[in-house]
Structure 1
């Protein structure tokens, strides 16, 4: 098994150790980028680009089948779950979830854990009654409500959680077993750790964090939730109809799907989800320890709820933030600005970010503090 921090994938060849800490689209492993570059004009010796492959052809069907098999192996996915490769990002699912999973007038439970959970709630409310089971709004989304505080409705059609809040730097560490189907937006921490899949009715995730490029949303849905589409729901947005057609009811996002297939294979080659989790903990703990030991930086998130993939922190003198970001970019450390709704600094440490990137960031932070603290 390869080293959990993937030194072989340090992007030294890309212009002098440049590291992309963007929340998404995120960095890709150099080996995957090189394979895309190599295969783009001539995929599998066909003489045609992967961009030109018909999705109904045998080669692309084989690619989709292999991608699903690799995903099933990584997650130890039970046979009663279907895998869907759909258009659009997770935000599309904010509306499509109630339209696919609920009967007209049926309510759903939602945990308000941060910026993206609030977005999901606002969109779902356009289509169905909601029950907010708990909220972190009163603490400024610096901590997650404990599962013991969740006020679950026994009549709810499903319970929605956001496993990782990219803007707020919070992450659910455990997923309780509940009566209603548990639905999770895992866009930013999907495939960063092993999961108790059997506790979920549905998992969805956009691809541009840990699965490649934007344009693809991957769904894992339990068979019993694939009911007939609601009247008026367009066929391409029906989970059941897409499942019947193996995600080929209409043209899927072929290039994004191809990139996801490469990323799934890469994750397996690095040692799978256990290796991803070890690397994620190592990278994030290094950064959190440095922030907590400093009087110059500070992290407002409760320690038990801190995200391993989106490390958010502040400069105690906020006036220095523009200079910090500008100097970081000149040092080859890109896209460290926090989300517009929160501010501060955000270092996104997805699977493709090597330990060397975090070490480079720490060196810059120590030097900036020495010069300005």
Structure 2
């Protein structure tokens, strides 16, 4: 087997070896058709079957009812920051956005160009280390929507409350979808980019109530309308066929490996390895409210910040890759998505213990 490092990248992120091997084996000639899956039309019956199977699998995986449309879109989660207010801001006087991390702040910046934004809560003053309970959010009356990011990858913090708003809920789950149990029926609109937990970059999954999509802004060009994409089965224009194909394989992989319930248990166990070490240490620091710590992205610093460069250099030599924190916050970040093996996390934990012994 070819060499594989311990890949802690925040995204695009590591994928299961068996998925990579399956893609490799099929890439030249998909199921005997004499062409690659990336060489055939999205209108071809072969690809239509791939697309249909992917939707069936994700509906089963997340228990998505027929009251919801499932859309495979392009543009990443970032495009949704603009498309959401473009499509739905007309439904109320204002749109509520929670400022709970870097990605939330980016969403607010984009939405502010399009609609009247009310920042219903902000944890910026505490450097996004503690988020107010949803019951304390200041939601405007007669508002169109409430938007928030459920897991902030850069700050390593998450929201565990489920929405109970009178306005429509729009939730970015890019880094946590399939890592924790959710009741889809409690959300109006969920979106997630693929490159964390279900494939390569370039495709975004949207799960939205059909009744909501029917209220999309009718004055927009079709390519910008969610209902138009839904009505055309995610094939309004040529989709990312390769990303869709890999996503389908990932959904099948989840179903064959215990589903979301199993992934959540593993995510909690994997991240706990590092949190337990950090909490017992007087060398490493994690600033996040323990009750709100991410089970996908573990952020930490070293009290003697001059040692962080040495830490990253030695980690690199040990094949512990992509641990440098986001450029906006520094420090270190271990992104531990569903495809990350327990052995890789224990290897990182052991490295951290030894590094503290040598430099603490």
| TM-score bracket for this pair, using the shorter chain length | over 0.9
- TM-score with structure 2 length normalisation? 0.98
Give 1:51's aligned residue. 38
Paired residues for 1:18-167 under 5 Å: 18-103=5-90, 106-167=93-154
Give yes or no for contact 1:101–1:227 (8 Å, CA) kept in 2.
Answer: no
Q: 1:219-234 counterparts in 2 under 5 A?
A: 219-227=206-214, 229-230=216-217, 233-234=220-221
Aligned equivalents of 1:154, 1:59: Cα separation in 2: 49
Q: CA deviation at 1:227?
A: 3.1
Residues 177 and 192, structure 2, Cα contact 8 Å, conserved in 1: yes
Deviation at 1:14?
4.0
Taking a change above 3 Å as real, the CA distance of residues 200 and 104 of structure 1, as seen in their structure-2 partners, is closer
Corresponding position of 1:185: 172
- Contact map agreement 2:163 2:187 (CA 8 A) in 1: no
Conservation of the 8 A alpha-carbon contact between 2:133 and 2:161 = no
Q: Which runs of 5+ in 1 are unaligned?
A: 1-12
What's the secondary structure of 1:102's corresponding residue?
helix
Indicate conservation of the 8 Å contact 1:104/1:128, yes or no.
no
Secondary structure at the counterpart of residue 66 of structure 1: helix
- What is the deviation of 1:329? 1.1
- Paired with 2:256 and 2:87, the residues of 1 have a C-alpha distance of 35
User: What residue is the counterpart of 1:371 in the other structure?
Assistant: 358
What secondary structure does 2:270 align onto?
A: helix
Cα distance, 1:148 vs structure 2: 2.4
CA distance in 2: counterparts of 1:105 and 1:77, whole angstroms = 27
Q: Tell me the alpha carbon deviations over residues 102-137 of structure 1, each in whole angstroms, 9 at most, x when there is no partner.
A: 218742111110110000000000000011111101
Does structure 1 residue 211 correspond to structure 2 residue 191?
no
Give the corresponding residue for 1:323.
310
State the 1:366 CA deviation: 1.0
Aligned-residue Cα RMSD (Å) equals 1.2
Find the aligned partners of 1:357 and 1:154 in 2 and give their Cα distance: 48
Partner residue, 1:10: none
TM-score by length of 1: 0.94
Partner of 2:279: 292
Q: 2:245 aligns with which of 250, 255, 258?
A: 258
Measure the CA separation in 2 of the matches of 1:129 and 1:105.
10
Shift of residue 308, structure 1, vs aligned partner? 0.3
Deviations 1:56-88 (A, max 9, x none): 011111111111111111111121000000111
**Paired residue for 2:333?**
346
Residues 113, 165 of structure 1: 8 Å contact kept: yes
Q: Is the 8 A contact 2:91 2:144 kept in 1?
A: no
Q: In structure 2, list runs of 5 or more residues that go unmatched.
A: none
| Distance change in 2, residues 1:128/1:153 (3 Å) | same
Question: Could you report, residue by residue, the CA deviation over 1:140-171 in whole angstroms, capped at 9, with x for unpaired residues?
Answer: 11111112210111211110010000000001
- Single out whichever of 175-184 and 209-218 deviates more from structure 2: 175-184
Secondary structure at 2:57's aligned position in 1? helix
Contact 2:152–2:158, Cα closer than 8 Å, also in 1: yes
* 8 Å CA contact 1:51, 1:255 repeated in 2: yes
**What CA distance in whole angstroms lies between the structure 1 residues aligned with 2:216 and 2:357?**
60
Q: What's the secondary structure of 2:328's corresponding residue?
A: coil
